[in-house]
Structure 1
């Protein structure tokens, strides 16, 4: 009788501990890099399932290039940047390792890809001037990191900030 009473107390104690754990706690999603399509898009696999991953919360130079008119000031500026700095065009390909496992989170059909420890690929692209933070981007978890990375690239005159691409491409996006 005493033994069953003690077991009941232990079970109740364990039950309360389990209830106090965060409900949304889960294992991180780990995926294997199968291909780097561009700085903006990577292909990952989990088991037999493959999917494309687009950088979360940013507009990359590739996206700006593809959404602007052919032969526009925006496209010409981006072409000029890549001619001067050809390694920037395949920045993500050189950064990420083929067949390496990466932690990622899916947010709003895009990926938060942790490329260097706790630093996301989006932050790295922003810091190199290869992307800008999306207009009206609101995410408490990432907004300050993205703003700091973008500010760093602007101050250091990197990537799109060096070629004044921001002005020529942004005005086209809002036409």
Structure 2
């Protein structure tokens, strides 16, 4: 077991950011886990909040460095949810805005799954239920974990979230020396 948490990592370039695995908690208490898989793809798990239990791999995203050490990521999910994240990892902060369609607010349980196996259901629900008014959730967050997972590591987000998973990751009980999942 290795504690990969590198809260002292210094970010300057886009390359510094890519391959980094983060855990952060929004000021409203929602806890998220997020991985910059490569320059156009993100993976994430949701541990707290309205859609806790949801997890996604290989989400196409726009990933840009605004200035050295400050990064903007934005994407639209198959649910119709839009997400915009501004990471300032040198300060252990980020600002995220999530734009939930009305149907996700009304039926969050539909989305609480491994989305990749249920894309048809997400798209069907997006068409079936109301999308407006959107529920806009703008929040600051504190980063509590930064791990150097390397790019294109399919072991980072590879199973459903469970109670206590973020603590297991922060405490070095989830990944081995090579940032591969330890079987639980």
Q: TM-score range by the shorter chain?
A: under 0.3
Structure with the bigger percentage of helix: 1
Higher relative CO (Cα under 8 Å, sequence separation at least 6) belongs to: 2
Q: Which has the higher strand share?
A: 2
TM-score by length of 2: 0.23
